[in-house]
């Protein structure tokens, strides 16, 4: 018996498309000034989908066709003589143009099957696609996910305009292997690029090429993402190597992928997340086109399975652990790329947050440890070990040096020596040729994840230097027990503190095992976050905002910090 259709899902997708398409169709001849080429292509795809869909208010609308033609004129004008699109920071970019061509080709499939009313739209789309084909066939990329976006564009071009050269080029890229690790994370570890690029591209390639292995890669990534979904309906990004590492990422963009795989595999856990992703309403105007291009999306979801609680997961490749219970959801992270590369860089995982804790509406967004050691920035674990179930050790040793005079045979009469980088800064001092006097600073953080939070044991060794543990709470709550010292900041010296939002709360208690007493609010020079010179030399920062509580002093120190979530018992 065939699976029934989910008419409400399709109607919701149509309403989302209509919110954009109706505005465009109301002024079909208005030139879309200032809209980037990717936006133009998305609009065309949405207008054509609205025209095609019986659930859209613009079904069969001539005004939708006219608006699509106006946007296609602007899109064709944005093409350079190479067929690539102008605009954006990446000049003459094959992958950026591939994003646009993917929508162009999808719109072409929809328009080509719509009858004579869309004949001119179909021809314009074919002209744009044809002009770009040569450059996409030979073009290169500069990020891992670009390979799959470009391959998807080549496969879509072949779907509409068959050409074996396109498939040969796709196979050349795919021969490198999909960059998915043993834990199911893509190499960029980015929720944004998994949801918007890698997963949809690999799904398309699996369909066009008949490659079950590519479909399985997406299923593995979605299965891993299950354990990265946070109680507030966002996906964890602290381990990402891309721009999303410093901001939350919504679950909604994952909706079509969880929905499609749930329907095709019968997985109840995927069905549960698909429902969760749509719980706040469907806002993506492009989803209607997906329902037309992939009819399986319109089928009813299988029965969802309940979220398993408690649960825990350790992703060894990203060095990220998570434990979830009915009381708390805690994440501990030790997978920064900065210790290995000794720099802050686009494409590296740089976020110094090593712990988060969710207790209902009370959220500890970030726990960071700042050190005043040669301006080398906050603690970022160079190593993370699993000591036992739900117990982990994060560690980092920083080394700086004072340099001795050059050996006799390395000295120059003119005093001109080569520029060299010594790990902290650069100077014309031929650092590698000089004897060094090294100074080291070691931080060890042992984390015991509990069902109601976490216990931390922090050991800071090395020369006497300031340090501050920064706990950043999501705004909206009330702090009790900590001492305020201005600008949304508090400090904790003796006794516990509580951060409360409604009936949900997080309790914090710090106890010194070794070292002098903790700094009070009069020591603001200690109780602060220092992003390190990689940021400050350019006038930048990666500091958090919100309600910040500091525990700090002058090391060496050994201390314990207990973090406890408290929530009302569920009503039975």
pLDDT digits (tens, 9 = 90+) for 448-506: 999 999 999 999 999 999 999 999 999 999 999 999 998 889 999 888 999 999 999 99
Residue 116 is given by DSSP the state G
Q: Please check whether residue 92 lies inside any domain of the structure.
A: yes
Q: Based on the fold, state whether residues 219 and 342 are members of the same structural domain.
A: no
| Boundary of a domain, candidates 267, 298, 329 | 298
Q: Based on the fold, state whether residues 322 and 344 are members of the same structural domain.
A: yes
Count the neighbouring beta carbons within 10 Å of the beta carbon of residue 212: 9
Please list, residue by residue across 269-279, b when 16 or more beta carbons sit within 10 angstroms of its beta carbon and e when fewer do.
Answer: bbbbbbebbbe
In the prediction, which pLDDT does 233 show?
A: 95
Q: Please check whether residue 418 lies inside any domain of the structure.
A: no
Q: Which long-range contacts (CB under 8 A, 24 or more apart) does 243-252 make?
A: 243/190, 243/192, 244/190, 244/191, 244/192, 245/190, 245/349, 245/350, 245/351, 246/351, 246/542, 249/191, 249/192, 249/195, 251/276, 251/277, 252/277, 252/278, 252/280, 252/282, 252/283, 252/284
In the prediction, which pLDDT does 495 show?
A: 85
Is residue 99 within 8 A of residue 38, CB to CB? The reply is yes
In the prediction, which pLDDT does 1 show?
A: 52
Q: Please check whether residue 316 lies inside any domain of the structure.
A: yes
Q: Based on the fold, state whether residues 340 and 285 are members of the same structural domain.
A: no
Q: Based on the fold, state whether residues 285 and 318 are members of the same structural domain.
A: no
Low-confidence ranges of the chain (pLDDT < 50): none
Split into its structural domains, the chain has a count of 2
In the prediction, which pLDDT does 535 show?
A: 92
Domain that holds residue 95: 7-298
| Boundary of a domain, candidates 298, 326, 361 | 298
In the prediction, which pLDDT does 153 show?
A: 98
Q: Please check whether residue 293 lies inside any domain of the structure.
A: yes
Report the predicted TM-score, pTM, of the whole model to 2 decimal places. Answer: 0.95
In the prediction, which pLDDT does 2 show?
A: 63
User: Half-sphere exposure (CA, 13 Å, Cβ side) for 526?
Assistant: 22
Q: Based on the fold, state whether residues 294 and 317 are members of the same structural domain.
A: no
Q: Please check whether residue 189 lies inside any domain of the structure.
A: yes
């Amino acid at each position: 018996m065939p699976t029934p259709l989910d008419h409400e899902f399709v109607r919701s997708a149509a309403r989302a498309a209509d919110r954009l398409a109706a505005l465009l169709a109301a002024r079909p001849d208005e030139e879309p000034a200032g809209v980037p080429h990717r936006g133009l292509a998305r609009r065309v795809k949405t207008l054509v989908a609205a025209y095609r869909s019986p659930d859209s208010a613009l079904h069969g609308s001539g005004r939708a066709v006219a608006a699509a033609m106006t946007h296609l004129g602007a899109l064709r004008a944005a093409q350079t003589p190479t067929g690539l699109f102008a605009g954006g920071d990446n000049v003459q970019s094959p992958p950026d143009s591939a994003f646009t061509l993917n929508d162009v080709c999808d719109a072409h499939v929809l328009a080509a099957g719509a009858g004579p009313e869309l004949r001119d739209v179909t021809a314009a789309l074919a002209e744009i696609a044809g002009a770009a084909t040569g450059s996409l066939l030979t073009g290169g990329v500069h990020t891992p996910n670009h390979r799959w976006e470009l391959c998807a564009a080549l496969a879509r071009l072949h779907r509409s305009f068959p050409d074996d050269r396109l498939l040969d080029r796709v196979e050349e890229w795919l021969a490198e292997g999909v960059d998915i690790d043993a834990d199911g994370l893509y190499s960029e570890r980015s929720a944004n690029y998994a949801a918007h690029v890698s997963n949809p591209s690999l799904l398309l390639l699996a369909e066009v090429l008949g490659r079950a292995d590519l479909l399985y890669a997406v299923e593995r990534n979605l299965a891993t993402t299950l354990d990265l979904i946070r109680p507030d309906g966002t996906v964890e990004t602290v381990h990402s190597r891309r721009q999303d590492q410093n901001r939350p990422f919504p679950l909604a963009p994952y909706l079509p992928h969880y929905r499609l795989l749930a329907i095709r595999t019968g997985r109840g856990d995927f069905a549960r997340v698909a429902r969760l992703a749509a719980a706040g309403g469907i806002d993506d105007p492009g989803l209607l086109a997906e329902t037309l291009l992939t009819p399986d999306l319109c089928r009813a979801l299988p029965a969802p399975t309940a979220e398993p609680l408690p649960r825990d997961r350790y992703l060894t490749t990203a060095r990220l652990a998570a434990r979830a219970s009915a009381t708390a959801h805690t994440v501990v992270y030790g997978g920064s790329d900065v210790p290995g590369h000794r720099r802050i860089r686009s494409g590296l995982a740089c976020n110094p947050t090593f712990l988060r804790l969710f207790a209902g509406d009370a959220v500890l967004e970030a726990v960071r440890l700042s050190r005043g050691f040669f301006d080398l920035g906050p603690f970022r674990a160079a190593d993370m070990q699993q000591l036992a179930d739900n117990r982990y050790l994060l560690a980092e040793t920083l080394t700086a040096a004072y340099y001795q005079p050059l050996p006799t045979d390395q000295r120059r009469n003119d005093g001109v020596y080569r520029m060299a980088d010594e790990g902290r800064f650069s100077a014309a001092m031929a650092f590698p040729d000089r004897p060094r006097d090294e100074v080291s600073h070691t931080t060890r953080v042992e984390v015991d994840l509990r069902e109601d939070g976490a216990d931390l044991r922090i050991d800071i060794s090395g020369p006497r230097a300031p340090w501050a543990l920064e706990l950043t709470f999501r705004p909206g709550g009330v702090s009790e027990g900590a001492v305020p010292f201005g600008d949304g900041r508090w400090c904790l010296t003796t006794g516990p503190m509580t951060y409360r939002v409604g009936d949900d709360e997080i309790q914090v208690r710090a106890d010194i095992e070794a070292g002098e007493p903790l700094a009070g609010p009069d020591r603001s020079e200690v109780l602060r976050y220092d992003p390190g010179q990689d940021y400050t030399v350019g006038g930048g920062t990666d500091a958090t905002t919100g309600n910040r509580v500091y525990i700090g002093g002058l090391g060496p120190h050994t201390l314990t910090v207990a973090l406890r979530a408290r929530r009302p018992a569920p009503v039975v």
